[in-house]
């Protein structure tokens, strides 16, 4: 929705600029084809910045999809060499994700500081103005998308850890015939895969390869965990920036809702008063009619008595 609004506004300003250029020198040009106003120029630059931010977020979503695919590939191979190649690709993707996340954080801070500065420029940019509400609403959409993306990366992190533990559980059972408990699994995760399972006796080729595979998986999971921890901290920093603006937007919306409730309540009260007045007028009319009827009866009785 925000992407559509951003594109629509940018297209509108571009068309207005083009209309101004096409009608240059025409003294009868329409007022709508005048140069963009200060607020339009401000929103044009704002939406350009938002478009750049959402574009980077889309790129991060593509990298997240690639990371999911690489994780699925890693589950179907047992070759340490292939696993190392997959791990290197995942590391490369995570470096790109971290770079983009750092960029997003810096751009969001710029938007935040520019919004604060604009509020003191003129009433058109003041707190609660149309421009301010538009900025807050759009940044609220960015905040929602950031939260969703952070949740998706967290889900991938939990999935990789769960699959890693499950793989260790299967290898331990295949080697010992006993299912490991959580304590054993935690120790295997921390010290490195199948290390210690084949601690006695001469190791065969399969055992050596199994240990190499487990060690490679442990290294890959550890690297991925560290990258995700850093990414999580960056996401939290970004969330703090947009959260403050979101709270302002919620406060504005709350005030608008309260004002609406007061208006509705006032309208209902006026309707109630009007109904009571109408009912009162009807009652007085009926009372007058009854009084008139009684008076006429008395007059007829008196005339009859006199006659």
1 assigned to some structural domain: no
12 assigned to some structural domain: no
pLDDT score of 259: 38
More confident residue, 243 or 22: 243
132 assigned to some structural domain: yes
Structural domains in the chain (count): 1
Domain that holds residue 121: 37-172+220-255
137 assigned to some structural domain: yes
179 assigned to some structural domain: no
Q: Which of 45, 249, 238, 41 is nearest to 134 (CA)?
A: 249
* Residue 146: pLDDT band with limits 50, 70, 90: confident
32 assigned to some structural domain: no
Quick: pLDDT tens for 79-126: 888 988 999 999 999 999 999 999 988 888 888 888 778 778 778 778
119 assigned to some structural domain: yes
Q: Specify the CATH number for the domain of residue 44.
A: 1.20.58
Quick: pLDDT tens for 172-225: 888 788 898 888 888 887 775 555 554 544 555 666 777 777 778 888 888 888
Mean pLDDT, rounded, for 68-86: 89
């Amino acid at each position: 929705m925000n992407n559509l609004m951003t594109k629509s506004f940018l297209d509108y300003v571009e068309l207005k600029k083009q209309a101004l250029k096409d009608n240059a020198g025409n003294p009868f040009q329409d007022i709508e084809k005048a140069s963009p106003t200060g607020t339009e120029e401000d929103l044009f630059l704002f939406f350009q910045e938002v478009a750049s931010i959402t574009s980077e977020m889309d790129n991060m979503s593509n990298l997240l999809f690639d990371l999911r695919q690489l994780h699925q590939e890693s589950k179907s191979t047992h070759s340490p060499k292939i696993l190392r190649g997959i791990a290197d690709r995942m590391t490369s993707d995570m470096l790109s994700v971290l770079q983009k996340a750092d960029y997003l954080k810096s751009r969001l801070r710029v938007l935040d500081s520019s919004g604060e500065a604009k509020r003191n420029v003129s009433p058109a940019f003041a707190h609660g103005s149309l421009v301010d509400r538009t900025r807050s609403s759009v940044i609220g959409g960015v905040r929602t998308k950031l939260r969703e993306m952070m949740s998706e990366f967290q889900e991938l992190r939990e999935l990789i850890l769960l699959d890693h533990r499950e793989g260790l559980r299967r290898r331990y059972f295949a080697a010992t015939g006993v299912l490991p408990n959580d304590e054993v699994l935690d120790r295997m995760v921390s010290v490195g895969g199948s290390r210690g399972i084949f601690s006695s006796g001469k190791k065969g080729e399969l055992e050596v390869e199994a240990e190499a595979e487990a060690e490679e998986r442990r290294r890959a999971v550890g690297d991925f965990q560290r990258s995700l921890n850093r990414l999580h901290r960056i996401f939290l920093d970004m969330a703090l920036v947009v959260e403050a603006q979101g709270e302002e937007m919620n406060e504005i919306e709350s005030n608008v809702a309260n004002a609406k409730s007061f208006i509705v309540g006032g309208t209902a009260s006026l309707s109630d008063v009007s109904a009571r007045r109408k009912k009162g007028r009807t009652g007085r009319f009926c009372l007058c009619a009854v009084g008139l009827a009684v008076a006429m009866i008395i007059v007829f009785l008196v005339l009859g008595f006199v006659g």
